[in-house]
Structure 1
């Protein structure tokens, strides 16, 4: 089977898996928002944001580091995998033994409800599982076996959906919902672990030369991620400090919708990263450009209509997910949707920086972004609340995405074409205009109409290549 066919099948499987997992996740989110209400959903958002803040710090870019290093030829792949796993376990264990206890003692978190502090303690188990799963995901990315990740995520989300449903039937309080959230992540990680065990020897190794190479590859990414966490999670944490948990819940509901689209960006780019690293290290510049172009086109084709669609039907999206308490979420949702363009640019070119070993050269982008955005949060969140947080978040995402694009353009000397991008803009404009005349319809009808119009126009003007579609649907092996 050709690499293109494997890539296409991985993409197709991941998209199908992501769609199913998203449906389960949205069902769970829908039930939780309606059952918990704005204030307690604010508790949930605060817990997830605090631990997400911690999780991003300890992330160290382990998925791209694993995928990239396992496609290099310097070390024995099994030994390298075992060292990556050992490093991940020790660092995550130490980190998650300390971070969850901070809100109990630090005055900054004094206004957090006791339920939030308690939930942070045990929900940290969920984030420990997620950090361990990063190594398994990176391993399967290198083998183009992303169906394993898709299956694990679907089962984890199914566990979450069923668990939330049963808790609602039992009139449960807030904390049991957080146990279910933790359980879903653990289930996903155990599936990844079980499958990986059948393919390689899953154990810890601590070899000094390999550990040094891991650290050398990782530290610029780790610092970049440390800067990222300020503008990715700082808005919600500061909103929780200066405003009510109800405001956090309203803002968080909008954020959760966009989180799904952000995860999809990382999923798609994760498929391309091993190929980018493989061809760059072997000086196959034509293939490198080919896959970078495909990654860019794929993300732009998806995100442009999503941005416009969210802006046009934000009221319907909010009404679908929540009760009357969440109507105000439509405003931050529209604002935050603009930032998705920057997130998707950053996903493509941030991962490409790892593939071409330019993490250090792009570090200034993340550092300057963190400083500017933190200052902006402190200036605008206290007086303007959700709107101040949302607009500064949009600024930070566009700032990072555009500068990363320019940096990769400069360092890789790869010149992408924007024909497909421009055609996607045209199709998106037609879709947006069409939707503005259909706002009286329900959300399902709007999504169907929007998807049909966008896809039809894009296909008609050649934005989607017919040959590529046929190859993506082909499952025949090359002789």
Structure 2
């Protein structure tokens, strides 16, 4: 078996593990969200969502681009993996503590209720643990051990769900559900630390000289992370400042579904980053092959999710929040279209990093920030959560289109071919079938949708027998050159 096939099988199997794990942990998370939303109602769930969005913003700002730098640097053979992980981990802890302290000062001046402010303080330790967990993903991805963080995530979600059950049973207030976040993250952190140290015996150190070098490399990613955060999370934050908590609750019910699906492309693209980084400079033809195969896979996987989520949006929000949240189905439809571009954007972003063009991402995300902030400020006062949904879609289209053309300029190859059209046709056929059978149970519709899409895609020759064997049975796919339909630019 060739090295490329071996790596391909590792990526396929680890992506499959990530998907299965995410389905399990996502199910636990959605059960917790359903319980909390039904217990607290639209206003209470809106307050709970404000707590989360504030802390997610702090978490993203404190990253400093360290996760992506860790993934890239430890994939290089000549680097000392132990020293790099230890230094970046120490730097991440210091940055997280600093940004959380600063955020508490900012929190004092925000027009939130006392319960929301206290809830943010109560949940903040949990987000410190999440910050550490995120960094550890780079270690697991490099060693193709995604089953371990999958277990850690299930432990975290399971622990949180147990505490949610207990707090509902004892009729507790909003603050206790914020506390459940911290408890769950603590359990997940300890599990991931145990697993990660089986791979690398790292510690927490602060090497000033190495940290200085790391920050030199990571600052473009740090700026990009902040800009990404502004256009990706600022919509809910602005909504929380300009509209009542009820509106935030409605939008958050839709956004939780959207957000719950984002792990899959992030996990897949994260696995591709070390692989693309290893060949980006020395073997560009190999990079083109990796990029095209990854893009094909994401297109085939993403289109049916987008169409299915759009058609089933009303059933999905009813499942999560009950009849009180049915109004969230319209923003969910819009977000499901945006999901397609977000999925591809994960790969595009990692490809740009692998090509060592991360400085260009600052300008790309700057465009995203401008669109998101300006349009949300203009339209939220009149259109509320519908404005945030549409602006999210427009921003994702703009940002990911620019990133795609940055990649094309570097590799001089057009990777899209007939598979996109075939996957689109199969998805539309599946969507029509679902639409005319909406009286059926949602789980039956999802099952039928998977069958119809898979069979249709196969008959349209959007996926081959060899590729099916590769995914299911891990039998190697014969080496094939890049298709001429793409061609060099």
Aligned pair count? 472
Give 1:473 deviation, angstroms.
Answer: 3.3
Counterpart secondary structure, 1:71: coil
Name 1:327's counterpart in structure 2: 326
For the Cα contact (< 8 Å) 1:62–1:138, is it kept in 2?
no
> Offset at 1:346?
1.4
CA distance in structure 2 between the partners assigned to 1:114 and 1:70 by the alignment: 44
Q: Secondary structure at the match of 1:144?
A: coil
C-alpha change, 1:311 and 1:472, in structure 2 (3 Å) is closer
2:23 to 19, 25, 39: 19
Please name the residue that 1:386 is paired with. Answer: 385
| CA positional deviation for 1:435 | 1.4
- What residue number does 1:156 align with? 156
- Gap regions ≥5 residues in structure 1: none
Q: Which residue is 2:223 aligned to?
A: 223
Deviation at 1:123, TM superposition (A): 0.9
1:305 matches 2:309: no
After superposition, give the CA deviation of every residue in 1:172-204 in whole Å (9 maximum; x if it has no partner).
211111111122122212111112223322213
Equivalence map 1:415-430=2 (5 Å): 415-430=414-429
Q: Paired residue for 1:175?
A: 175
Partners of 1:344 and 1:401 within 8 A in 2: no
Q: Deviations over 1:230-249 (max 9, x none)?
A: 11111111111111101110
Deviation at 1:476, TM superposition (A): 8.5
Using the size of structure 1 for normalisation, the TM-score is: 0.95
Q: Secondary structure at the match of 1:440?
A: coil
Of 219-228 and 201-210, more deviation after overlay is shown by 201-210
1:38 corresponds in structure 2 to 42
Partner residue, 2:484? none
The residue that corresponds to 1:116 in the other structure is 116
Task: For residue 295 of structure 1, report the CA deviation from its aligned partner.
Answer: 1.8
List alignment gaps of at least 5 residues for structure 2: 477-489
Paired position in structure 1 for 2:316: 317
Q: Hey, what's the Cα distance between the residues in 2 that align with 1:176 and 1:238?
A: 25
Q: Which residue of 1 aligns with 2:483?
A: none
Residue 286 of structure 1 and its aligned partner are, at CA, apart by: 3.1
**Which deviations, in whole Å up to 9, do the C-alpha atoms of 1:184-229 show, x marking residues without a partner?**
1222121111122233222133334532331122111111111111
1:136-157 Cα distance to aligned partner (Å, 9 max, x none) = 1101111111111111111111
Quote how far apart the aligned CAs of 1:461 are.
1.8
The Cα offsets for residues 377-435 of structure 1, whole Å up to 9 and x where unpaired, read as: 11001111111111111111111111111111112324313232221111111111111
Q: Does residue 80 of structure 1 match 2:84?
A: yes
Higher alpha-carbon deviation: 420-429 or 283-292: 283-292
On the 8 A contact 2:235/2:372 being kept in 1, the answer is no
Q: CA RMSD in A?
A: 1.7
CA distance in 2, matches of 1:335, 1:473: 33
- In structure 2, C-alpha distance between the alignment counterparts of 1:167 and 1:255, rounded to whole Å: 24
2:62 aligns with 58
Per the alignment, residue 479 of structure 2 pairs with none
